[in-house]
Structure 1
Amino acid sequence: MASNFNSVAFIYDSLAGMVFGKSIQKAQSVWLDSIPDDGKVLILGGGTGFILEELDRLELPLKVTYIEPSSAMMSRARKRLPFKFIEVDFIQDTHRAAFGMDRFDVVMTNFFLDVFTQDELGKVVQQISSLVDKDGVWLLTDFVKTGIWWQNALIKLMYLFFKVTAGLEGNRLFNFEAYLSEEGYRAVKQKYFYFGMIRSDVYKRTES
């Protein structure tokens, strides 16, 4: 994944809010009650760190590993310190930095899988799956294809914008649910936001 979001970090949250209002924040927060009281949480591609403040509001002693490749995004996330309840290990690197770590009770990929090409996505999902504990959950929030013309146009515009500004290699959405299903996961909870264009899922292994 060669994309670098340093150039857009300073406007990322404002731009998202201007286009989607509070939908993106609500979607990322809706299933936080799925996190166990003393859980180990892995956040991949956390961006500017909004979700960290939401986790702290749970008032749970969570151990959070926060991985983000963009130095500018990471800098903004660190500025949200200190937190009252959660303990955060900030790692500026790609998702591969998590390989070899102990498994996590919760893995969060919010608007993360949509940056990968079709050739990369299957392997990435497989790699992330190996990080989820046997009885753990995978919280996935992302855009979904709807077949509605203006939403399709907006998705294409976003991909073009991030290709120009951040060198994004991915250029279209895929059916993430199908990829997770291949790794033995099923969605146990789903909720849609922004006219069905954003979906937030809780995935668990089918054998759990």
Structure 2
Amino acid sequence: MSTAPAPDFDFIAPVYDALAQLVFGKAQQKAQAQFLELIPLGARVLVLGGGSGWLLARLLQKSNPAYVLYLEASSQMLRQARTRYQNFSSAGAEVEFRHGTQDQLLPEEKFHVVLTPFVLDLFTAPQALHMMQRLTQALLPGGLWLHTDFYLAPEKRRQIWQKPLLWAMYRFFRQVSGISGTGLPPFEALFSQLGFVTKQEAFFFHFFIRAQVLQKPLGS
């Protein structure tokens, strides 16, 4: 199947970070930065959907990659990321900004680490799986996948407020950005289907946000 058209975050780009902090405080940023120090020295890193660029600055502060491909579907977000990077003194890593989605990856491009910060939840489960299959192809054997997204805790007492908040978020972004997703994809099942093993995970915002480190099998 082909990937659904990328959501349009251009309209909300100028206020996206402020809106996220209004709702979640620093929880989203803390979750995305949680495992950046695990990125190997000199790694080739793919950031898919990094948004306005604050994550890129944090990545370069906490790790020392050789190359970072910053792949972003929103031209406005990409412009913000470029501007922020120009004002940031990195340790010498090569950073490439590219407008598009995983479909703009070249067949020969391979990475040691892939980052998907609050990206896969925007799509239906079949669409998310299609994206994950393409990203898996681009990830080297034994490579790390740093995945950060929303999470429904198993406890009913947490779901009482998590489900309505999640519903409201999906409704809002369907109206504003045209996302196709209507609920969280079954991330555990999808990663398991692709052979990934969870190495570490951490939870934020009362178990509504989860950061994970997953590893691709060495023999794949």
In the superposition, the TM-score normalised over structure 1's length comes to 0.95
Corresponding position: 1:81 with 2:88:
no
Shift in Å at residue 59 of structure 1? 5.7
Corresponding position of 1:67: 71
The C-alpha deviation readout for 1:60-117, integer Å capped at 9, x for no partner, is 2431000001111111111112332232100011121114132101000010110111
| In structure 2, C-alpha distance between the alignment counterparts of 1:59 and 1:19, rounded to whole Å | 28
Corresponding position of 2:215: 204
Corresponding position of 1:23: 27
- The one-letter code of the counterpart of 1:132 is L
Percent identity over the alignment?
A: 36
Alignment of 1:117-156 (within 5 A): 117-146=124-153, 147=156, 148-156=159-167
Corresponding position: 1:170 with 2:178:
no
Corresponding position of 1:40: 44
Shift in Å at residue 207 of structure 1? 4.5
Corresponding position of 2:113: 106
Given that residues 40 and 63 in structure 2 are in contact (C-alpha distance below 8 angstroms), is that contact kept between their aligned partners in structure 1? no
Evaluate the alpha carbon distance shift between residue 61 and residue 168 of structure 1 in structure 2; reply closer, same or farther with a 3 A threshold: closer
- The RMSD of aligned alpha carbons is 1.4
Q: Where does the alignment leave 5 or more consecutive residues of structure 2 unmatched?
A: none
The C-alpha deviation readout for 1:106-150, integer Å capped at 9, x for no partner, is 000010110111231222211111111112101100001225121
Q: Where does the alignment leave 5 or more consecutive residues of structure 1 unmatched?
A: none
SS at match of 2:181: coil
| In structure 1, C-alpha distance between the alignment counterparts of 2:165 and 2:200, rounded to whole Å | 26
Evaluate the alpha carbon distance shift between residue 4 and residue 101 of structure 1 in structure 2; reply closer, same or farther with a 3 A threshold: farther
